[in-house]
Amino acid sequence: MIRYGQQDINQADIEAVIAVLKSVNLTQGPNIPRFQQCVIAHTGAKHAVAVNSATSALHIACLSLGLGPGDWLWTSPNTFVASANCGLYCGAKVDFVDIDPRTYNLCPKALEIKLNEAEKAGKLPKIVVPVHLSGQPCDMEAIHALSLRYGFKIIEDASHAIGGMYKGEPIGNGRYSDITVFSFHPVKIITTAEGGMALTNSDELATKLGLFHSHGITRDPALMTRPMEGPWYYQQVDLGYNYRMTDIQAALGVSQISRLNHYVARRHEIAARYNELLADLPLVLPWQHPDSYSAFHLYVIRLKLNEISRSHLQVFEALRAKDIMVNLHYIPVHTQPFYQKMGFKHGDYPEAERYYREAISIPMYPTLTNAEQDEVVNALREAMGL
Ligand SMILES: *Cc1c(COP(=O)(O)O)cnc(C)c1O
């Protein structure tokens, strides 16, 4: 069986985890600040808060930016549901902006049109969440310029994108956003099993992220309302959650991140080889914006359905029947029943829906061998009836 994505765990990873299991601190040990520092060193962000998932990171990012009832959060419909759900967790309302047909990322032109209308209606968003699909960065310069004009905050959902670059700089450095979020789920670029991180250059936001990820509790006298009452003392100054990462997970993260650049380079090799092997097939291959160096979390092909005799479903099922565990990223969020109950309808975001009818994520992970890749290509050719 060849899966669409898969983690790579080596002996050093295993030993790093075992070392924590033999230590005294399973949860809040030295590996958490160490892992945060590794991500800071990689991205150039000023602050990083490790948490137990990217979903948690998105939630505390929204809380830290003050999102609440009566506010709007906008994101791409072509994403995992977590990018939108974080707004609902805060009691805000969620809306979507259709995608660019070449990058499959939130389209800045569609954003501008929607902002213009929202301004007239007095319904401007407080937060926009661009999602770097497959690891290819969004047009952040354009989105940032719009944020200055319309006064919204930006959370980059970079769950796919650690190790990628935008205009020659690491994704996560926060040049064009308030907070960036990474995921370390096993299918992503590096893993801590479950895990995520929120990055920011703002001291104030970093303090809030720190509070919200751990019950709203502080041990910092500077944040307290009264003097310390003793060495045991802490204060709860806000309502937070238990979103902490464990030291076991962080140790795995520290070990994994040492191979980040190698992983992304290998993903580029695999993408280049797919580009060659698939060039003659009736497919749209992943177009790369010249400003971007994708982390290549996914390699998404789109079927040119009017040039083949098989349906999207038939091609997908034929691949799965051959134990090639392809996937589809993503079912447009606004078509989920939970979102349709809020009034969203099929047809609301035509580019995301067209993409959904044609897209397939084929296997892409650093340990995929050339022989396995050839197997995928042959199976795909056959599945398409060629
Ligand atoms: C995986 C993913 C998430 C959620 O990440 P978790 O770490 O599983 O919570 C959010 N957004 C996108 C785009 C993702 O791919």
Residue ranges of domains in the chain: 2-257, 260-383
Side by side, which strands form the sheet with 165-166? Answer: 169-170, 165-166, 292-293
What tens-digit pLDDT sequence spans the chain (386 residues)?
A: 999 999 999 999 999 999 999 999 999 999 999 999 999 999 999 999 999 999 999 999 999 999 999 999 999 999 999 999 999 999 999 999 999 999 999 999 999 999 999 999 999 999 999 999 999 999 999 999 999 999 999 999 999 999 999 999 999 999 999 999 999 999 999 999 999 999 999 999 999 999 999 999 999 999 999 999 999 999 999 999 999 999 999 999 999 999 999 999 999 999 999 999 999 999 999 999 999 999 999 999 999 999 999 999 999 999 999 999 999 999 999 999 999 999 999 999 999 999 999 999 999 999 999 999 999 999 999 999 99
136: closest CA among 64, 48, 76, 201?
Answer: 76
pLDDT at residue 266, rounded to an integer:
98
Which class for 370: exposed (0-12), middle (13-18), buried (19 or more C-beta within 10 A)? exposed
CA dihedral (345, 351, 356, 361) positive or negative: negative
Strands 196-200 and 292-293 turn out to be: unpaired
Whether this prediction's pTM lies above 0.85 is answered by: yes
User: In a mutational test of the pocket of ligand 1, which residue from 134, 160, 185 has the highest number of ligand atoms less than 8 Å from its CB?
Assistant: 185
What's the CA-to-centroid distance between 160 and ligand 1, angstroms?
8
Find all residues with CB under 8 Å of 276, minimum gap 6, and list them.
none
What would be the CATH architecture of the domain defined by 2-257?
Answer: 3-Layer(aba) Sandwich (3.40)
Q: How far is the CA of 55 from the centre of ligand 1 (A)?
A: 6
Closest-lying ligand 1 atom to the alpha carbon of residue 184 = 7
Q: How far is the CA of 82 from the centre of ligand 1 (A)?
A: 6
The pair of structure tokens assigned to 103 is: 């990058």
Closest-lying ligand 1 atom to the alpha carbon of residue 83: 11
The Å distance, Cα 331 to ligand 1 centre, comes to 14
Q: Please provide residue 191's backbone torsions phi and psi, each rounded to the nearest 5 degrees.
A: -130, 150
The CATH code of the domain at 260-383 is 3.90.1150.10
Tell me, what's the pLDDT at 133? 98
| Ligand 1 atom nearest residue 57's Cα | 9
Which residue's CA lies nearest to atom 2 of ligand 1?
Answer: 159
Pocket-forming residues, ligand 1, beta carbon under 6 Å? 53-55, 79-80, 82-83, 131, 157, 159-160, 183, 185, 196
pLDDT on residue 17:
98
